[in-house]
Amino acid sequence: MIKDSYQKLKITQFGNPVLRQVASNLSISEIKSPETKHLINKMREFLKTKKLGIGLAAPQVGVSKQIAIIEIQKTPIRDNIEPLSLAIINPEITKNYGRKTQLWEGCISCGSGSAALFAKVPRHKKLELEYYDENGTKRREIFTDLPAHVIQHEVDHLNGVLFVDKVKDTKSYMTFSEYKKMKKSKA
């Protein structure tokens, strides 16, 4: 029986040293272990039930392992996207395509609700990612647009880099409540 050390996941906030560490890679046997599968399921459940965002890296729940979950679903704001549910383990961006473009980004580790922080972050719109899936199968795929953006954010987390480290236009910082107002006024 698995000891449920992940029963009550909590978001690790900016300032916690685990967010600045390079997370540990997992071996194939660790990837296939019941403990890792359990952590992935708990992270997915946590992200979906708390409605916190579209990506979650293990360091954001205090676990310094190279695991991230991507859960992109359609919303009223994002009604023209393809849903994506993906676990990436030991991910490595092997190629970036084109120039970076600035897109709005936030992070569930830097505040919650209306007070969460948003800013424009330059990211590549297309990338090639090599990773292991949750079954231990090595994969190489190309991702574009929002999935590519989210993957870059989560891979940064696994390498101890926060989105605020990448912001070039510091005047773009705003709270989530102001971000929503801005999006509504442009709709």
In a domain, 12, yes or no: no
Total of domains in the chain: 1
Which pairs count as long-range contacts for 131-135, CB under 8 Å and 24+ apart, including other chains? Answer: 131/88, 131/89, 131/90, 131/91, 131/92, 132/26, 132/28, 132/31, 132/88, 132/89, 132/90, 133/86, 133/87, 133/88, 133/89, 134/31, 134/36, 134/37, 134/40, 134/87, 134/89, 135/31, 135/32
- For 40, the domain range is 17-186
**Residue 6 belongs to some domain of the structure:** no
Instruction: Please report whether residue 55 resides in a domain.
Output: yes
* Position 56 in a domain: yes
Q: What CATH number corresponds to the domain at position 146?
A: 3.90.45.10
Per-residue pLDDT of the chain (187 residues; tens, 9 = 90+): 344 555 678 999 999 999 999 999 999 999 999 999 999 999 999 888 766 679 999 999 999 999 999 998 877 767 788 889 999 999 999 999 999 999 999 998 988 777 889 999 999 999 999 999 999 999 999 999 999 999 999 999 999 999 999 999 999 999 988 988 888 887 6
Does residue 5 form part of some domain? no
Catalytic annotation present for 71: no
Among residues 35, 82, 154, 178, the one annotated as catalytic is: 154
- Would 11 be classed as within a structural domain? no
